[in-house]
Structure formats: structure tokens, C-alpha cells
Amino acid sequence: MSFPIEFKKCPVCHSQETVCRLACDGESSIAKDAFVSLDKTFTPIQDVTRLLGPVVKGILCHFDVCSKCGMRYCTRAEITSVPVNVQHSSGNVIRNLQPPR
């Protein structure tokens, strides 16, 4: 198995319809084949204190809610890189992880 891993059906009722897909259906600003999800979590798989570049690699998990039974489940897991913001504040370097929207 390789990334991205997609879970196309609700694990409970096997419906493919989710709250977010339902809500985005017919939304002209979103491409028809674009992947949409209700919320996302990003888990870095690199040591953020030892980064050399401006990005950190991690696992992006998409979650959505089944529109039939209300089950919240992972719809997609992918490996991605997100920018690391480096801010200088009173001499300290602060790194903020900002997951993509």
C-alpha cells in the first residue's frame, strides 16, 4: 500500500456521500474533481528542531462526516510538505507549523 491512502466509503453504512462533499457540490469556486474534506490534521514525520529547509514533511489526514449516519472517519491520508514559518522575536527563532488549507 502506498500514499495517498483513500477511504472512499463510510466504514459503518458504506455511503460515499459526506457532509463536506454535499456542501461543496455545485460550488462554482471549487473544481469538480477537487478533493474536499471537513477537517485535516498534520503530523510531522521529521524532527522539526533539526530542519534545514523551509518545509517539513508529514502526514496529512483528511476527515469528513458521513451524511447518512454521521460517522466521522478518515477519508484520505497523504504525505505532504508544509511551509515552516520562521519568526524572529527578541532574538529567538520560533517555528510555526501551518497545515495547508
Of the candidates 59, 60, 77, 69, which has an alpha carbon nearest to the alpha carbon of residue 18? 69
Tell the smallest beta-carbon distance from residue 25 to Zn ion (Å): 17
Farthest CA pair distance, the chain: 54
Question: CA 71, CA 91: separation in Å to the nearest integer?
Answer: 47
Among 20, 64, 66, 75, binds Zn ion (CB under 5 A): 66
Residues in contact with Zn ion, counted by CB under 5 A, come to a total of 8
For Zn ion, the closer CB: 15 or 98: 15
- Total residues found in the chain within this entry: 101
Among 3, 6, 13, 57, binds Zn ion (CB under 5 A): 13
For Zn ion, the closer CB: 48 or 69: 69
Q: Kindly state whether residue 65 participates in binding Zn ion, applying the rule CB under 5 A.
A: no
Question: CA 9, CA 87: separation in Å to the nearest integer?
Answer: 41
